[in-house]
Amino acid sequence: MLRLYDSRLSGNAWKVRILLNQLQIAFERVTLDLAKGELNRPEVAQKARFKRIPILELDDGRTLVESSAILLYLAEASPLLPSDSYLRADITSWLFFEQFDLTRALGFPRFFKLRGVYEEQKDKVRFFQEIGYAGLNKLEDWLNRHAFLVDERYTLADLGVFPYVSLAHEGGYEMERFPATKAWLARIASQPRFIPMLEGAKG
Amino acid sequence: MLRLYDSRLSGNAWKVRILLNQLQIAFERVTLDLAKGELNRPEVAQKARFKRIPILELDDGRTLVESSAILLYLAEASPLLPSDSYLRADITSWLFFEQFDLTRALGFPRFFKLRGVYEEQKDKVRFFQEIGYAGLNKLEDWLNRHAFLVDERYTLADLGVFPYVSLAHEGGYEMERFPATKAWLARIASQPRFIPMLEGAKG
């Protein structure tokens, strides 16, 4: 059985759990408390090439890292990732946009709030928000003209971009500025077999 | 014929040109001067979903954005991107690492130098270097134990991670700290049909 190393707080881990649930793939979950240094447990550390979760462990013990690479691997041959090479590339481009423009910029201010260091990190928050708002504007611009990111239907692109955008307000982002994005978030959260973050993931 | 919209200075554009040359795919090049606002030319702007290059235009006029998504699209069925699903995912994970940990952090300090604003942007440089050095340490750690990133041979992972790492010193990164990475850079630059950045791309 697949084994997923994740954490309660990670949007990157959440996206893999949503996908596994939507594809109805059974898996074992090993949920780490990163604040307690559980990423440094030797059996985990040797699998964590980039010192972060999620990590997917296959039946044969091989592991894969990077949430978006894991999404593309798991969604292969599913309706969420069409076999058409152009559509696949288009979906993949959104996953790279998410990691380049949104994940860090939206995720770190939220992380600072959760850790109670938002005020003391306000220079970094301002810096991240400059990047993050630029990314959110690009997303809003697209969603003003489209209901979904690719092919006018729910695909892996929507799933991958959703988590950090949906959590951005927890890091102080004013999402009222992005009405089309808010409508899209509701649309994605109402897809069949969508699942919320883990309980207790706010603290 | 494929058409590539690029710029002289972009490492993301460079990686696509290396790949096209290594795969011996003919293409037409439209090289924009971004400092002169040529990304805003209407026929370009409508193709630039995320307001950046490179953009790949296919024979039928459809376009693809995001350098790493373009790499994966073009390398399909080539020796640089094996069909084995695990190896593909492993290669893809390095491409995401590059965009998340390296591209912005290594690229912006260099961009500031090229634009002559490095000193006035020194707070941002410090911020980016904190992220960039952490990424470079992860890369060095891997390359201390491996000659290549995936499968112990040259693949799309090496090609995609190479450009910004090779340019990092232009943004003030002290690459002497990373001897295994420097040896790897030389190894990648000596691959068949490798090509340097465009002439004049320093200024």
Question: pLDDT tens digit string along B82-140?
Answer: 999 999 999 999 999 999 999 999 999 999 999 999 999 999 999 999 999 999 999 99
Nearest one of B119, B29, B114, B20 to B70, comparing CA atoms: B20
Q: Give CATH for domain A2-75.
A: 3.40.30.10
Residues near A175 by Cβ (< 8 Å), separated by ≥ 6? A168, A169, A181, A182
pLDDT for the residue B199? 65
Structure tokens at A7: 């954490």
Task: Indicate the pLDDT class of residue A200, thresholds 50, 70 and 90.
Answer: low
Three-state helix/strand/coil letters over B91-118: HHHHHHHHHHHHHHHHHHHHHHHHCCCC
Looking at the predicted structure, is the pLDDT value of residue B203 above 80?
A: no
Domain range A85-189, CATH architecture: Up-down Bundle (1.20)
Of B89, B97, B100, the CB nearest to A104: B100
Chain A residue with Cα closest to B137:
A50
Supply the ipTM of this predicted assembly. 0.97
Looking at the predicted structure, is the pLDDT value of residue B201 above 70?
A: no
Span A81-109, average pLDDT: 98
CA dihedral A183, A146, B99, B35 (to 10 degrees): -120
Looking at the predicted structure, is the pLDDT value of residue A1 above 90?
A: yes
Residue B109 CB burial class (10 angstroms; 0-12, 13-18, ≥19): buried
Looking at the predicted structure, is the pLDDT value of residue B149 above 90?
A: yes
- Interior angle at CA B99, CA A48 and CA A144, nearest 5: 120
Q: Tell me the shortest Cα–Cα distance from B50 to chain A, in angstroms.
A: 6
Domain assignments of chain B as residue spans, ordered by start: 2-75, 85-189
Q: Tell me the shortest Cα–Cα distance from A202 to chain B, in angstroms.
A: 24
Q: What is the mean pLDDT of chain B?
A: 96
Looking at the predicted structure, is the pLDDT value of residue A60 above 60?
A: yes
Chain B residues within 8 A of A19 when measuring between CB atoms = none
A138 within 8 A of B51, measured Cβ to Cβ: yes
Looking at the predicted structure, is the pLDDT value of residue B200 above 70?
A: no
User: What is the rounded distance in angstroms from the CA atom of residue A56 to the CA atom of residue A48?
Assistant: 10
b (16+ CB within 10 A) / e for B55-89:
bbbeeeeebbbbbbbbbbbbbeeeebbbeeebebb
Amino acid sitting at position B179? P
pLDDT for the residue A203? 41
Chain A residue with Cα closest to B73:
A89
The DSSP output letter for B188 is: H
pLDDT for the residue A198? 82
Q: Tell me the shortest Cα–Cα distance from A154 to chain B, in angstroms.
A: 19
Task: Indicate the pLDDT class of residue B173, thresholds 50, 70 and 90.
Answer: very high
